[in-house]
Chain A
Amino acid sequence: MGTNQPFVIYPARRVITINPAFPFGEAVAVAGNRILGVGTTDELASWGEHRIDDCFANHVIMPGFIEAHCHVMSGGLWNSTYVGYFDRRDPQGLLWPGCTSIDDVLERLAKAAADMSDDSQTLLAWGLDPIYFPGERLVARHLDTVTGDRPTLILHASGHLATINSALMERCGIDETATSPGVARGGDGLPNGELHEPAGMMLAGEAFADMMKANRSEQARWRYANEARNAGHTLLTDLGTTQLWDPEQLGNWKKVTSGPAYPARVMVAMSNLFGATADPAELAELCVKLKSEQTDKLRFGIVKLILDGSIQGFTARISWPHYYKPPPGHIGNGMWLTAPDQMADLVEPYHRAGLTVHCHCNGDEATEAFVEAVEQVLERYPRWDHRHTVQHCQLTTPDQYRRMAALGMCANIFSNHIYYWGDQHRDVTVGPERAARMDACGTALASGVSFSIHSDSPITPLGHLHTAWCAVNRVTASGQVLGPDERIGVPDALRAITIEAARQIKMDAEIGSIEAGKLADFAVLEDNPLTVDPMALRDIGVWGTVLGGVLQPAQISDA
Chain B
Amino acid sequence: MNAHTIAVTVVGGYLGAGKTTLVNHVLRSTDERIAVIVNDFGEISIDEDLIVAADSDKLTLANGCICCTLADGFAAALMQIRSAGTLPQRLLIEASGVADPAQIAAYGHTPGLRLDAVVVMADAEQVRRQANDRWVADTVRMQLAAADLLVVNKIDLLDDADKADELCDWLAGLSTGATIVRASRAAVPIDVLLGPRSASDAVDTHERPAPERAAAPGWHVVADLFESQTVVLDAPVPKPVIEALLADLPDGVARLKGLVQAAPAAGASDTTATEAADATAYLIEAVGKRTSMTPYATDPTQPPPRWAISLISHKGSLAPDWLESRLHERN
Binding site for B on A (CB under 8 A): 173, 177-183, 197-200, 202-203, 205, 208-209, 212, 243, 245, 272, 274-279, 317, 331-333, 335-342, 365, 369
Q: Is B97 an interface residue (CB 8 A)?
A: yes
Task: Assess the B69–A202 pair: CB atoms within 8 A.
Answer: no
Q: Which residues of B contact A340 (CB under 8 A)?
A: 135-136
Q: Is B43 an interface residue (CB 8 A)?
A: yes
Q: Which residues of B contact A338 (CB under 8 A)?
A: 98
Task: Assess the A332–B74 pair: CB atoms within 8 A.
Answer: no
Q: How far is the CA of A178 from the CA of B107 in the complex (A)?
A: 12
Q: Is B226 an interface residue (CB 8 A)?
A: no
Task: Assess the A199–B142 pair: CB atoms within 8 A.
Answer: no
Task: Assess the A199–B110 pair: CB atoms within 8 A.
Answer: yes
How many whole Å from B186's CB to the nearest CB in chain A? 19
Task: Assess the B41–A278 pair: CB atoms within 8 A.
Answer: yes
Q: Which residues of B contact A335 (CB under 8 A)?
A: 98, 100, 139
Q: Which residues of B contact A332 (CB under 8 A)?
A: 138
Binding site for A on B (CB under 8 A): 1, 14-15, 39-43, 56-57, 69-76, 97-98, 100, 103-104, 106-107, 109-111, 115, 133, 135-136, 138-139, 142
Q: How far is the CA of A161 from the CA of B39 in the complex (A)?
A: 21
From B40, B71, B135, name the one whose CB has the most chain A CB atoms within 10 angstroms.
B135
What are 12 A-B residue pairs whose CB atoms fall within 8 Å in the complex? A183-B109, A199-B107, A199-B110, A202-B73, A209-B75, A275-B39, A276-B71, A277-B41, A277-B42, A278-B42, A339-B98, A340-B136
Task: Assess the B136–A279 pair: CB atoms within 8 A.
Answer: no
How many whole Å from B247's CB to the nearest CB in chain A? 18
Task: Assess the A180–B41 pair: CB atoms within 8 A.
Answer: no
Task: Assess the A276–B69 pair: CB atoms within 8 A.
Answer: yes
Choose one: A243, A337, A341; the contact of B71 (CB below 8 Å).
Answer: A243
Top 7 nearest A-B pairs (CB, nearest first) are A278-B42, A180-B109, A199-B106, A278-B40, A336-B98, A202-B75, A279-B42
How many whole Å from B235's CB to the nearest CB in chain A? 28
Task: Assess the A178–B41 pair: CB atoms within 8 A.
Answer: no
From B70, B100, B111, name the one whose CB has the most chain A CB atoms within 10 angstroms.
B111
Q: Which residues of A contact B42 (CB under 8 A)?
A: 275, 277-279
Task: Assess the A337–B98 pair: CB atoms within 8 A.
Answer: yes
Choose one: A200, A243, A337; the contact of B106 (CB below 8 Å).
Answer: A200
Q: How far is the CA of A192 from the CA of B139 in the complex (A)?
A: 30
Q: How far is the CA of A205 from the CA of B39 in the complex (A)?
A: 21
Q: Which residues of B contact A243 (CB under 8 A)?
A: 71
From A199, A317, A338, A342, name the one whose CB has the most chain B CB atoms within 10 angstroms.
A199
Q: How far is the CA of A317 from the CA of B135 in the complex (A)?
A: 9
Task: Assess the A331–B109 pair: CB atoms within 8 A.
Answer: no
Task: Assess the B138–A333 pair: CB atoms within 8 A.
Answer: yes
Q: How far is the CA of A202 from the CA of B75 in the complex (A)?
A: 6
Q: How far is the CA of A69 from the CA of B74 in the complex (A)?
A: 26
Q: Which residues of A contact B142 (CB under 8 A)?
A: 331
Q: How far is the CA of A342 from the CA of B136 in the complex (A)?
A: 12
How many whole Å from B2's CB to the nearest CB in chain A? 11
Choose one: A274, A279, A336, A341; the contact of B72 (CB below 8 Å).
Answer: A274
Choose one: B15, B39, B57, B75; the contact of A339 (CB below 8 Å).
Answer: B15
Q: Which residues of B contact A336 (CB under 8 A)?
A: 98, 135-136, 139
How many whole Å from A207's CB to the nearest CB in chain B? 11
Choose one: A181, A209, A276, A342; the contact of B41 (CB below 8 Å).
Answer: A276
Task: Assess the B57–A276 pair: CB atoms within 8 A.
Answer: yes
Q: Given A331-B138, A331-B142, A339-B15, is A277 in contact with B40 using a C-beta cutoff of 8 Å?
A: yes
How many whole Å from A110's CB to the nearest CB in chain B? 29
Task: Assess the B98–A197 pair: CB atoms within 8 A.
Answer: no
Q: Given A177-B1, A336-B139, is A202 in contact with B41 using a C-beta cutoff of 8 Å?
A: no
Choose one: B40, B43, B110; the contact of A180 (CB below 8 Å).
Answer: B110
Q: How far is the CA of A208 from the CA of B142 in the complex (A)?
A: 29
Besides A202-B110, A340-B135, 10 new A-B residue pairs in contact (Cβ under 8 A), listed by A number:
A199-B110, A202-B107, A203-B110, A243-B71, A274-B70, A275-B42, A275-B69, A278-B42, A279-B42, A339-B97
How many whole Å from A395's CB to the nearest CB in chain B? 15
Choose one: A177, A202, A278; the contact of B74 (CB below 8 Å).
Answer: A202
Q: Which residues of B contact A202 (CB under 8 A)?
A: 73-75, 107, 110
How many whole Å from B109's CB to the nearest CB in chain A? 3
Task: Assess the B74–A179 pair: CB atoms within 8 A.
Answer: no
User: Which residue of A has the minimal Cβ distance to B137?
Assistant: A333
Q: Which residues of A contact B73 (CB under 8 A)?
A: 198, 202, 212, 274
Task: Assess the B15–A180 pair: CB atoms within 8 A.
Answer: no
Q: How far is the CA of A275 from the CA of B40 in the complex (A)?
A: 6
Task: Assess the A199–B97 pair: CB atoms within 8 A.
Answer: no
Q: Given A276-B57, A278-B43, A279-B42, is A198 in contact with B74 using a C-beta cutoff of 8 Å?
A: yes
From A183, A202, A369, name the one whose CB has the most chain B CB atoms within 10 angstroms.
A202
Q: How far is the CA of A396 from the CA of B96 in the complex (A)?
A: 26
Q: How far is the CA of A223 from the CA of B41 in the complex (A)?
A: 33
Task: Assess the B106–A278 pair: CB atoms within 8 A.
Answer: no
Q: Given A173-B111, A197-B106, A276-B56, is A342 in contact with B15 using a C-beta cutoff of 8 Å?
A: yes
Q: How far is the CA of A339 from the CA of B19 in the complex (A)?
A: 15
Q: Which residues of A contact B43 (CB under 8 A)?
A: 278
User: Which residue of B has the minimal Cβ distance to A276?
Assistant: B71
How many whole Å from A331's CB to the nearest CB in chain B? 6
Q: Which residues of A contact B40 (CB under 8 A)?
A: 272, 275-278
Q: Which residues of A contact B15 (CB under 8 A)?
A: 339, 341-342
Q: Which residues of A contact B76 (CB under 8 A)?
A: 209
Q: Which residues of A contact B133 (CB under 8 A)?
A: 341
Q: Which residues of B contact A197 (CB under 8 A)?
A: 103, 106
Choose one: B71, B97, B135; the contact of A275 (CB below 8 Å).
Answer: B71
How many whole Å from A344's CB to the nearest CB in chain B? 13
How many whole Å from A115's CB to the nearest CB in chain B? 29
Q: How far is the CA of A183 from the CA of B111 in the complex (A)?
A: 12
Task: Assess the A181–B106 pair: CB atoms within 8 A.
Answer: yes
Q: How far is the CA of A335 from the CA of B95 in the complex (A)?
A: 14
User: Which residue of B has the minimal Cβ distance to A332?
Assistant: B138
Q: Which residues of B contact A317 (CB under 8 A)?
A: 135
Task: Assess the B103–A199 pair: CB atoms within 8 A.
Answer: yes
Choose one: B39, B100, B104, B135; the contact of A278 (CB below 8 Å).
Answer: B39
Q: Which residues of B contact A337 (CB under 8 A)?
A: 98
How many whole Å from A396's CB to the nearest CB in chain B? 16
Q: Which residues of A contact B110 (CB under 8 A)?
A: 180, 199, 202-203
User: Which residue of A has the minimal Cβ distance to B73?
Assistant: A198
Q: How far is the CA of A492 from the CA of B98 in the complex (A)?
A: 39
Choose one: A274, A276, A277, A369; the contact of B135 (CB below 8 Å).
Answer: A369
Q: Given A276-B56, A336-B98, A342-B97, is A365 in contact with B106 using a C-beta cutoff of 8 Å?
A: no
How many whole Å from B105's CB to the nearest CB in chain A? 8
Task: Assess the A365–B135 pair: CB atoms within 8 A.
Answer: yes
Task: Assess the A274–B106 pair: CB atoms within 8 A.
Answer: no
Q: How far is the CA of A243 from the CA of B115 in the complex (A)?
A: 30
Q: Which residues of A contact B103 (CB under 8 A)?
A: 197, 199
Q: Which residues of B contact A341 (CB under 8 A)?
A: 15, 133, 135-136
Q: How far is the CA of A177 from the CA of B40 in the complex (A)?
A: 32
Q: How far is the CA of A340 from the CA of B111 in the complex (A)?
A: 35
Q: Given A278-B42, A278-B43, is A203 in contact with B111 using a C-beta cutoff of 8 Å?
A: yes
Task: Assess the B71–A274 pair: CB atoms within 8 A.
Answer: yes
Q: How far is the CA of A254 from the CA of B107 in the complex (A)?
A: 36
Q: How far is the CA of A198 from the CA of B1 in the complex (A)?
A: 21
Q: How far is the CA of A492 from the CA of B138 in the complex (A)?
A: 40
How many whole Å from B126's CB to the nearest CB in chain A? 11
Q: How far is the CA of A341 from the CA of B115 in the complex (A)?
A: 31
Q: Which residues of B contact A272 (CB under 8 A)?
A: 40
Choose one: A182, A205, A212, A278; the contact of B109 (CB below 8 Å).
Answer: A182
User: Which residue of A has the minimal Cβ distance to B141?
Assistant: A331
